[in-house]
């Protein structure tokens, strides 16, 4: 997540808020999450897309609700999001 904060400094506050909200939440399933994050979309392979900073940025994560595990797959602007295949974008290791 720090990589994204460095790359998109104008999104740091919203991204950090999202992170701590999820860290302190306990969603049993996507329906529970959807009650809090109404604009979140389930796109397959346990992947959820969140709108960050209104709709300027998109965050793609893989969530395994059973284990409360979240893996950030991708983060970028809405325009950048339109150029990726959200269902196949891999986790990028450094």
Is 88 domain-assigned? no
pLDDT recorded at residue 41: 95
Please count the helices (runs of H) and the strands (runs of E) in the chain: 4, 4
CATH number for the domain spanning 75: value is 3.30.2310
Whether residue 94 is predicted with pLDDT greater than 60 in this model: the reply is no
Is 62 domain-assigned? yes
CA angle, residues 11, 64, 2, in degrees to nearest 5: 25
Is 90 domain-assigned? no
For the chain, how many residues are written? 94
19, two tokens: 């992170």
Whether residue 4 is predicted with pLDDT greater than 60 in this model: the reply is yes
The per-residue pLDDT for range 14-70, each reduced to its tens digit, is 999 999 999 899 899 999 999 999 999 999 889 999 999 988 999 999 999 998 899
Whether residue 8 is predicted with pLDDT greater than 60 in this model: the reply is yes
3, two tokens: 């990589």
What range does the domain containing 62 cover? 2-81
At which residue do the structure tokens 């104008």 appear?
A: 10
Is 92 domain-assigned? no
């Amino acid at each position: 997540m720090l990589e994204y904060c460095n790359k998109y400094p104008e999104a740091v506050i919203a991204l950090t808020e999202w992170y701590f909200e999820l860290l302190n939440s306990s969603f049993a399933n996507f329906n529970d999450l959807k009650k809090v994050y109404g604009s979140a979309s389930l796109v397959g392979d346990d992947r959820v897309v969140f709108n960050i900073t209104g709709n300027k940025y998109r965050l793609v994560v893989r969530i395994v609700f059973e284990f409360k595990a979240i893996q950030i797959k991708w983060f970028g602007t809405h325009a950048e999001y339109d150029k990726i295949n959200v269902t196949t974008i891999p986790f990028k290791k450094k």
